Amino acid sequence: MSWKESNKTYQILKAAEEGGYGVVAAIAYNIEHIVAFVRAAEAKKSPFIIQFFPWAITATDGLLVRAAAEAARTAKVPIAIHLDHAQDEALIRHAADTLPFDSIMVDMSHYDDAENLSRTRDLVAYCHARHITTEAEPGRIEGGEDGVADTADLVGVMTTEQQVDDFLATGIDFLAPAFGNVHGEYGARGPVLDYDRLDQVRRRVAQRARVVLHGTNDFPEEVMRRCIAGGISKVNVNKLVLDDYLVFQKMQAAGLPLTALVERGIEATQRLVEWQIDVCGSAGKC
């Protein structure tokens, strides 16, 4: 048996792909989020992925990641710990060496194509040697306050079949394609996705990797469901599950005792997470 068969992220996403559902992968910024994610996953009998930006490692000397791993270890459902958009090679090696990540997204998109692929290949090997699975994203697209200027702008940066082959050749396990999805804001028009492109990518990937969705801010439920029907198994969310928490903190921070802020912050987060678990169809899957 390959080590990957016992890798938590790999197991969770393989089951999701076979079962035709998506698994919520949400970013945690503090302990309240971690507690809310685990409670929501357990209440829904759903697998889950807790993600961190590299910020969480540097801001807390890795403590937040260790806390999440402990919560995952004792949870009643499968929960994986993932590092999202890691762009610093030294930090990736440090994380792989010293922190309990099940998977790491290697993001070398700040280099040109050839350099991106060769650095990705090296880091994937480094992570795999430590039994950590890896994710990469060809064609990162930035949204903005006003959304994307024009759909035509997106066509040139959508993921091609050649990029799928190139990135899979680096050994990555999870691939996040660009098919109209953007990071940040979509603007008034909302997301305009190219589902044909997603289908093309999915067919090209075949059984070689799982497909990941990035850039889900303000996604309507039907858009999320359509993406999962198109073969997405890992669904990165940030704003969709943290919005209520942020609004609650802004409104109540001046008036409530800290204990109430923490407890009700957890509840506000858990409600949205449970909603997204339902949208992604992973409730009752474990």
In the complex, which residues of this chain contact Zn ion (CB under 5 A)? 137, 214
**Cα 69 to Cα 158: distance, rounded to the nearest angstrom:** 34
Could you tell me the CA-to-CA distances from 232 to 17, 18, 117, 226, 270 in Å, in that order?
7, 11, 23, 9, 23
Burial class (CB in 10 A: 0-12, 13-18, 19+), 207: exposed
Least CB distance to Zn ion at residue 158 (A): 14
Is 84 tagged catalytic?
yes
Token digits of residue 216: 């889900």
Of the pair 32, 137, the CB lying nearest Zn ion is at 137
Say if CB 235 and CB 22 are below 8 A apart. yes
Least CB distance to Zn ion at residue 185 (A): 14
Least CB distance to Zn ion at residue 233 (A): 16
Of the pair 60, 109, the CB lying nearest Zn ion is at 109
Of the pair 137, 194, the CB lying nearest Zn ion is at 137
| Annotated catalytic residue, options 84, 102, 107, 173 | 84
**Cα 250 to Cα 245: distance, rounded to the nearest angstrom:** 9
Q: How many CA atoms lie within 13 A of 27 on its CB side?
A: 21
Least CB distance to Zn ion at residue 234 (A): 11
Residue length of the chain:
286
Of the pair 210, 214, the CB lying nearest Zn ion is at 214
User: Which residue of the chain is nearest Zn ion when measured via CB?
Assistant: 214
Active-site residue set:
84
